[in-house]
């Protein structure tokens, strides 16, 4: 640290060789402010890089760019999570993950208790779980094929479909810095926050006119944005006071803490504290974030969990829901939950996926959801971003700096990072114009997007890049 201070006094930046501290790889970095009047030195713990890498490995469906291997996981056993259908030579975008021994059923009419007991006995199952209009049955002896044949032949349901798994739509390209201070008076006049990482790393906010947009709206505590994801680090100092009570769908007896990092990163993009002199700045100053943990420690969840998370957030007043997750299976069960929220004036936003495929991903491709693609810093389409006629808008998605568990920060890439930009903008608009319906806000964001690519709407950029300064 003395060497860092010495170099700062000489007007130079400094980065030390890597060394070990308490068993963790670290280095010391020192940087001068742009005007050379101030300097900051920090001890950087690189443990977060290992966490990002580990998260990337756990994400079964998504392929980092460039591709690090090809594999296909179609189904897992719900008790053991043992993969049942691994094959090589397939891209992840051709895989739809589901529990092999479970099935989701929506009956033509509500079954009686006696009929449910009869069904459970005939398929060797315990009592089914019910959410909304649908039931989930788990058999001890029958696989999905046999379950499907049983229900379609004997009960003629509205639908009988697999219990799909949903995975995060983000992957790591991680970097890490630490927090510190900056000159506040000059920053406030120019609407440039004093958060340490803003000027150097947060290219994404100026790119969509966020700073100018703050002259129109900084958000409102009355408009809550739910993050249906892996949870959120409830003790991150850059999210202090920004969270409302949430829910852990995976383990209802626990709080919605993040054991992956993905949800914390998404939440920081939306609402990390602004002008607190440390870390990153979120897009919204005042919109509260509702953490809903629907994805587990592996970064994956189920149709049931995501649907329950959507319904729970809707029933507790969320006005915007961000879903940085997806699967290529069109689940009517999940669609029911999406329509439940949409019919109650909730605005839903979802990431399109990171497999560079035209195949529609869900829930993004549902008509009630704003589907988001990702752009690079030069506003070109990110090479990993999914595309297609269902894409509504694009937003920055590559090398996005945000909060990470353990009071840390990381830069991640993916449509998962693009989606919360759109959700945050929706929160700003609904804060300024609370009388607008969800459809009116969606149409406003679409109509005011900055056209990219071919003139007019196209399958790569949708209607274009969101513009936060356009909704006055």
Does residue 332 sit in helix, strand or coil?
A: helix
DSSP string, 393-421: EEEE-SSEEEEETTTEEEEEESHHHHHHH
Q: Which residues contact 356 (CB under 8 A, 6 or more apart)?
A: 65, 93, 383, 384, 385, 386, 387
3-state secondary structure 46-92: CHHHHHHHHHHHHCCCCCCCCCCCCCEECEECCCCCCECCEECCCCH
Taking CA atoms, 278 is separated from 143, 238, 317, in Å, by: 52, 8, 30
Distance, in Å, from the CA atom of 449 to the CA atom of 463, rounded to the nearest integer, reads 6
Exactly one of 179, 229, 336, 392 is catalytic; name it.
229
Q: What proportions of the chain, in percent to the nearest 5, are helix, strand and coil?
A: 30, 25, 45
Instruction: Give the residue carrying structure tokens 């090479």.
Output: 383
Phi, psi of 165 (to 5 degrees): -100, 145
Whether 262 is catalytic? yes
Does residue 180 sit in helix, strand or coil?
A: coil
Whether 335 is catalytic? no
Q: Which residues contact 216 (CB under 8 A, 6 or more apart)?
A: 428, 432, 469, 471, 472
DSSP string, 245-256: --EESS-TTS--
Whether 91 is catalytic? no
Taking CA atoms, 188 is separated from 183, 215, 240, 270, in Å, by: 9, 12, 21, 20
Distance, in Å, from the CA atom of 113 to the CA atom of 436, rounded to the nearest integer, reads 43
User: Helix axis angle, 415-432 relative to 438-447, nearest 10°?
Assistant: 120
Exactly one of 284, 416, 431, 470 is catalytic; name it.
416
User: Helix axis angle, 332-342 relative to 303-315, nearest 10°?
Assistant: 10
HSE value, Cβ hemisphere, 13 Å, CA-based, for 423 = 36
Exactly one of 97, 236, 262, 335 is catalytic; name it.
262
> Which residues carry out catalysis?
229, 262, 416
């Amino acid at each position: 640290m003395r060497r860092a201070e010495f170099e700062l006094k000489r007007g130079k930046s400094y980065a030390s060789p890597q060394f070990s501290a308490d068993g963790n790889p670290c280095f010391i970095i020192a940087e001068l402010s742009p005007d050379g009047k101030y300097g900051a030195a920090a001890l950087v713990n690189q443990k977060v890089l290992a966490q990002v890498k580990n998260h990337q490995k756990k994400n079964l469906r998504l392929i980092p760019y460039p591709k690090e291997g090809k594999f296909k996981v179609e189904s897992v056993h719900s008790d053991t999570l043992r993969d049942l259908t691994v094959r090589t030579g397939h891209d992840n975008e051709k895989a739809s993950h589901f529990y092999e021994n479970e099935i989701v059923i929506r009956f033509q009419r509500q079954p009686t208790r006696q009929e449910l007991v009869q069904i459970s006995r005939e398929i060797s199952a315990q009592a089914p779980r019910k959410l909304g209009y649908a039931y989930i049955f788990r058999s001890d002896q029958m696989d999905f094929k046999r379950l499907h044949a049983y229900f379609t032949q004997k009960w003629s349901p509205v639908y009988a479909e697999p219990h799909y798994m949903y995975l995060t739509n983000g992957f790591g390209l991680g970097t890490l810095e630490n927090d510190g201070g900056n000159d506040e008076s000059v920053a406030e006049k120019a609407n440039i926050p004093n958060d340490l990482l803003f000027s150097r790393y947060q290219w994404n906010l100026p790119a969509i006119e966020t700073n100018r947009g703050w002259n129109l709206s900084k958000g409102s505590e009355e408009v809550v944005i739910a993050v249906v994801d892996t949870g959120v680090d409830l003790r991150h100092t850059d999210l202090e006071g920004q969270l409302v009570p949430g829910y852990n769908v995976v383990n209802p007896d626990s709080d919605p803490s993040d054991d992956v990092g993905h949800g914390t990163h998404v939440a920081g993009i939306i609402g990390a504290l602004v002008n607190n002199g440390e870390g990153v700045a979120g897009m919204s100053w005042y919109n509260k974030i509702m953490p809903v943990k629907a994805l587990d420690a592996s970064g994956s969840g189920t149709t049931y969990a995501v649907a329950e998370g959507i319904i729970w957030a809707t029933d507790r007043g969320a006005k915007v829901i961000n879903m940085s997750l997806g699967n290529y299976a069109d689940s009517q069960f999940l669609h029911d939950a999406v329509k439940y929220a949409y019919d109650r004036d909730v605005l839903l936003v979802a990431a399109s996926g990171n497999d560079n495929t035209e195949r529609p991903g869900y829930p993004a491709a549902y008509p009630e959801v704003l589907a988001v693609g990702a752009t690079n810093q030069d506003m070109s389409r990110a090479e990993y971003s999914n595309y297609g006629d269902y894409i509504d808008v694009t937003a920055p998605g590559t090398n996005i700096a945000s909060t990470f568990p353990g009071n840390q920060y990381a830069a991640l890439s993916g449509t998962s990072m693009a989606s919360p930009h759109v959700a945050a903008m929706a929160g700003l608009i609904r804060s300024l114009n609370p009388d607008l319906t969800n459809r009116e806000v969606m149409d406003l964001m679409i109509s005011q997007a900055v056209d990219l690519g071919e003139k007019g709407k196209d399958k790569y950029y949708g209607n274009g890049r969101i513009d936060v300064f356009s909704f006055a």
